[in-house]
Chains A and B, each alone.
Chain A
Amino acid sequence: MNENWALFKRNLFEFWKAFRRNKLGLLGGFLVLTAILAATFAPLLTPYAPTEVIRDVNGRGLTFAPPSVHAPLGTDDAGRDIWSQLIYGARVSLAVGFLAGFIAMFIGSLFGILAGYFGGRIDNLLMRVTDVLLVIPDLPLMLVLVATLRQMDLHVSPLVVLVFVIGLLYWTSTARLIRSQVLTIKERQYVARSRAIGAGHVHIIRKHILPQIMPLIVANTVLIISTAILIESGLAFLGLGDPTQPSWGAMLNFAFDRSAVTNGAWWFYLPPGFAIVWVTLGCVLLGNVLEDMLNPRLTAHHLESNQNMIAIQKREGE
């Protein structure tokens, strides 16, 4: 156990050393991390509860108030603090995004590995399902699904419905990506050697395939999370979110419902939009950089290419 821990620490350290030098990756990591911290410590960062109505000395609600010392980002049509809603909204948006992203990643990786490794019928089935899902436009399909499921009296929070609909529809691109990677990895000679040693399929997948594609899965998950957050915002904006627990999308929905734009209440609709951009941009930057850094094809041969470079330089020197 001790050695494994040492090995893990060493790998982590080497990863950090490479990551630290990447400016875009650091920026992405910073954006995502601040959002997660804000969501985690929401009660400490907000002066009011998100549903609390701020009242003036006469006891009237402070509606459509611009940013001031009382409400740092102003108030909405009912006199509730925008800043508090924004921070608490991060909880909903991130939770839906992460959960849906993980579901999509799990299903996608599972199908991708099975289809790539075993081929045959599973592969055919996967490719047909992904074909079908690829040609159907996502947003209308999800709208219909979410709307129908909400009609059905399932006694679950609308957020759970969102999580599952997004998660169950967004795994196809991951599955295809993983499948193509597995297809190349399983032809590698070390997999053949492992088979020749007598290893079974489970052993080969666990010990040789999974470690190779894990980085890809991680990078892809981050990207999927950003998509999931965007879609959640879109659906919530169209009124399919949970009105009792507003996410950023739901805040935008309120803002447009209560004609914040015509009232010139920019503090009502700009912050949630900005927050969505903040997180998704962070995820995309982080995901792309991780993908570049962890791509097995790029790392496996770095020594060989170095040797080639030396050889070429020598030849030029002659």
Chain B
Amino acid sequence: MSAKPVLEVRNLFKHFPMRQSMLDMLRRRQAEVVCAVDGVSFSLEKGEVLALVGESGCGKTTIVRTLIGLEEATSGEILFKGQEVESQNQNEKNKISLKQLRQRVQIVFQDPYESLDPRATIFDIVSEPLVVHGMAANRDELHARVKMSLEEAGLRPAEDYLLRYPHELSGGQRQRVVIAAAMVLEPELLLADEPVSMLDVSIRAEILNLLNALRRSRGISILFITHDLGTVGHFANHLAVMYLGRIVEIGPTAEVLKNPQHPYTRALLSVVPVPNPKLRRKMIILSGETPNPINLPNGCRFHPRCPLAMDECKLNDQHLVDVGNKHQAACLLAQ
């Protein structure tokens, strides 16, 4: 076994060019870009869970889509087990092809109502990865593996589900189907894009437990995306907080939760409901709206909303600095 991380992302950028109006083109204005992902680096070890937290629109989904090749990165490197991922099927040597990557990395999307083909049966959906990669020698094997995967995802007995259509299932069951389809290839890395945010609160814990159990039994790594800091504590080994396309704080979960350095992380933590009223912190309500990723503010991108902003913050775009215990934060005040 190599000691290389399962996934390593170095300085990933993804900018979407905006449509320009004819007038602007004639005026030779520079095309505006949406800086959805703006210099993100992290790595994920085997069997670990990295939680990526941030508010809506900060670029979490874009990272996942870029990792699996649904979007082409503007720049930056993505390494899977130390091997670079080829860009756009060019068959470069020493690089892992997209098709291979998509066999070993699987994705769970946010919306279980949208991510299942309404005209495919559950069997079609779960067997699809096996068919696409030619992983089942015959129909019996296909059947056996689909059933096993469904049961492992908590849909028992599997026979009852095989010939059903997605609209005959509840949201939680659908997400289990998505997870079964993702696990059927026995991937090494699972990209879970807010797998529970569209589900009823009562089902969320079940799905999270399922993911946790799969991680324990299979030893897969999970990139777990969420905008809910409350659920990640007992689940993720590492925590990365994102703000407007950048990671502003990253470190071991316990460490970050106990000792948040970035004002944004503190604000997020302060609004997480805590059962024990004595432990409740003072709520920090952020003022102002999220600046849009088209016109990023100068200096630190959080300064317009930061309660602790100083003059220096308007000039200095602080990058991640070590604060000890593998904990990094991008703030001038971090120590």
A4 CB to nearest chain B CB (Å): 9
Within 8 Å by CB of B132, from A6, A7, A199, A302, lies: A199
A238 interface residue per 8 A CB criterion: no
B102 and A211 within 8 A (CB): no
Is A189's CB within 8 Å of the partner chain B? yes
Whether the Cβ atoms of B133 and A198 lie closer than 8 Å is: yes
Return chain B residues, CB-CB under 8 Å to A190. 114-117
Determine if B293 is an interface residue (Cβ-Cβ < 8 Å).
Answer: no
Chain B residues 94 to 118 lying within 8 A of chain A, measured CB to CB, are: 98-99, 102-103, 106-107, 109, 111, 113-118
Within 8 A of B (CB), among A173-230: 188-190, 192-200, 203, 207-208, 211-212
Rounded to whole Å, the gap between the CB of A42 and the closest CB of chain B is: 39
The chain B residue with its CB closest to the CB of A197 is B129
Does A125 make an interface contact (CB < 8 A)? no
Mark each residue of chain B from 121 to 134: 1 if its CB lies under 8 Å from any CB of chain A, else 0.
Answer: 10110001100110
Q: Which residue of B lies closest to A215 (CB)?
A: B119
Q: How far is it, in angstroms, between the C-alpha of A303 and the C-alpha of B174 when the chains are bound?
A: 14
Instruction: Establish whether residues B120 and A7, one from each chain, have CB atoms under 8 Å apart when the complex forms.
Output: no
Contact assessment for B70 and A192 in the assembled complex, using a CB-CB cutoff below 8 Å: yes
Q: B167 interface residue, CB < 8 Å from A?
A: yes
**Interface residues on chain B, number (Cβ under 8 Å):** 32
Q: Does A318 contact B (CB under 8 A)?
A: no
Give the residue of B99, B102, B109 whose beta carbon is less than 8 angstroms from that of A189: B109
Partner of B113, one of A3, A296, A304: A304
- Min CB distance, B74 to chain A, in Å? 19
Provide the residues of chain B in CB contact with A199, threshold 8 Å: 128, 132
The CA-CA distance from A303 to B98 in the complex, in Å, is 36
Contact of B102 among A188, A196, A304 (CB under 8 A): A196
For residue B34, CB closer than 8 A to chain A, the reply is no
Would B114 and A195 count as touching, CB distance under 8 A? no
Q: Give every chain A residue within 8 A of B111 (Cβ-Cβ).
A: 189
Answer whether residue B68 sits at the interface, using C-beta atoms and an 8 A cutoff: yes
Main secondary structure of the interface of A (DSSP, over half): helix
Please give, as numbers and ranges, the residues of chain B lying within 8 Å of A211 by CB-CB distance: 117, 119-120
Give which listed residue, B102, B120, B181, contacts A198 with CB less than 8 A.
Answer: B102
Verify B107–A303 contact, CB threshold 8 A: no
Whether A208 contacts B117 in the complex (CB less than 8 A), given A189-B111, A197-B132, A198-B103, comes out as: yes
Q: What residues on B are CB-neighbors of A196 within 8 Å?
A: 68-70, 102, 106-107
On chain B, the residues within 8 Å of A207 by CB distance are 117, 120, 124, 128
Q: Is A300 an interface residue (CB 8 A)?
A: yes
A3 near B132 (CB under 8 angstroms)?
no
Bound Cα distance A296, B167 (Å): 13
> Given A7-B121, A198-B102, A198-B103, do A193 and B132 touch, yes or no (CB 8 Å)?
no
Of A7, A195, A200, A296, the residue contacting B70 (CB under 8 A) is A195
**Do A300 and B68 touch across chains, with their CB atoms under 8 A apart?**
no
Docked pose: A189 CA to B109 CA in angstroms: 8
**How many angstroms from the CA of A199 to the CA of B106 in the assembled complex?**
12
Contacts of A195 in B (CB 8 A): 70
Q: Bound state CA distance, A193 and B128, in angstroms?
A: 11
Interface: B310 (CB within 8 A): no
Q: How far is the CA of A208 from the CA of B181 in the complex (A)?
A: 16
Q: B31 at the A/B interface (Cβ < 8 Å)? A: no
With a cutoff of 8 Å between Cβ atoms, the chain B residues found around residue A208 in the complex are 117, 120
B119 to chain A, nearest CB (A): 4
Write out the residue numbers on chain B whose beta carbons fall within 8 Å of the beta carbon of A188. Answer: 114
Bound-complex Cα distance A7 to B168 (A): 14
Cβ of B274 under 8 Å from chain A? no
Residues 276-311 of A, flagged 1 when their CB comes within 8 A of B and 0 if not, give 000000000000000000001001101110000000
Given the interface pairs A6-B163, A198-B102, A303-B167, the reply to whether A189 lies near B114 with Cβ below 8 Å is yes
Q: How far, in Å, is B111 (CB) from chain A's closest CB? A: 6
- List 19 A-B pairs, Cβ < 8 Å: A3-B163, A7-B163, A189-B109, A189-B111, A190-B117, A196-B102, A197-B102, A198-B98, A198-B103, A198-B129, A199-B128, A200-B132, A207-B117, A207-B120, A211-B119, A211-B120, A212-B117, A296-B119, A304-B113
- Known: A196-B106, A197-B106; 10 extra A-B contacts, CB below 8 A, are A189-B114, A192-B65, A192-B109, A196-B102, A197-B181, A198-B102, A199-B128, A211-B117, A296-B119, A299-B118
Task: Give A residues with C-beta under 8 Å from B.
Answer: 3, 6-7, 188-190, 192-200, 203, 207-208, 211-212, 296, 299-300, 302-304
